[in-house]
Amino acid sequence: MSGDFSVLIVEDDFHVGRLHAGFVDAVPGFRALPPAPTAAQGLNAIHAGRPDLVLLDVYLPDASGLDLLRTVDVDAMMLSAASDPETIRKALRHGALAYLIKPFSAEALQSRLRGYAWYRRLLAESGAVGQDRLEGAWQALHPGAPAAGPKTGSATEAAVLAALASRGDQSTADVAAAVGISRTTAQRYLSVLADDGAVAISLRYGTTGRPEHRYSAAPGQG
């Protein structure tokens, strides 16, 4: 599908690689490439396919995934059973956007992917990046962080839900205008509400080929 984010999974276990590819393909706007079982094959696939995002294991048969992370200029998240603090710190220090410890649920990965899509959209907007937009992009990548979004039950959250319930699917800009908040703030609320299941997300393809996220109240929320 044109305009999807392409995702390369570097994972030596064939079955795990296929499982994670299924998780990726289930998220609208994402497309999994054939998994690479070694660091060398992963490096070749990155150079040949130029994926938008790499999901990288630490334990690979020919090298550490951390070494591969250091050598490539591509967005990457670590998916690994390695849970020692030094490995995690090193992965983040070398540029990993997120770190998921195996085993994890499909929703845990899919939430990160949805956050990544929002992160890319926020930093794709024209003009200089202000602190508000930067904070919104960081929070999109870390949906479980304490500052990742507004507290549930707030007046603004209720206003966002009311705006979604009053009409059909809407863009972030539509919601921001209806509620009287910034687009970054609207995106934060929509992100949290989507993770909570209160908001449904769909895609609309425009003339540029890049899909636009559309939001509507989930069944039972209107």
Residues 6+ apart with CB under 8 A from 203: 28, 29, 211, 212, 213, 214
Please tell me the distance from the alpha carbon of residue 97 to that of residue 16, in angstroms, as a whole number: 21
Q: What are phi and psi of 216, to 5 degrees?
A: -150, 160
Contact assessment for residue 77 and residue 143, using Cβ atoms and an 8 Å cutoff = no
Please give the share of the chain, as a percent, with pLDDT higher than 70.
Answer: 88
Question: What mean pLDDT do residues 147-169 have?
Answer: 69
What is the model's pLDDT at position 66? 96
- The letter for the amino acid at 39 is A
The first and second tokens of residue 52, run together, are: 């938008």
The domains located in the chain, with CATH, are: 5-104 (3.40.50.2300), 128-217 (1.10.10.10)
Q: What is the pLDDT of residue 205?
A: 67
Give, in order, the Cα–Cα distances in Å from 109 to each of 102, 141, 191: 11, 11, 15
**Per-residue pLDDT, 149:** 45
Distance CA 81, CA 78 (A): 10
Residue 46 binned pLDDT confidence (cut-offs 50, 70, 90): very high
Residues 134-152, mean pLDDT to the nearest whole number = 65
Look at 67 and 182; give whichever has higher pLDDT.
Answer: 67
- Amino acid 75: pLDDT: 97
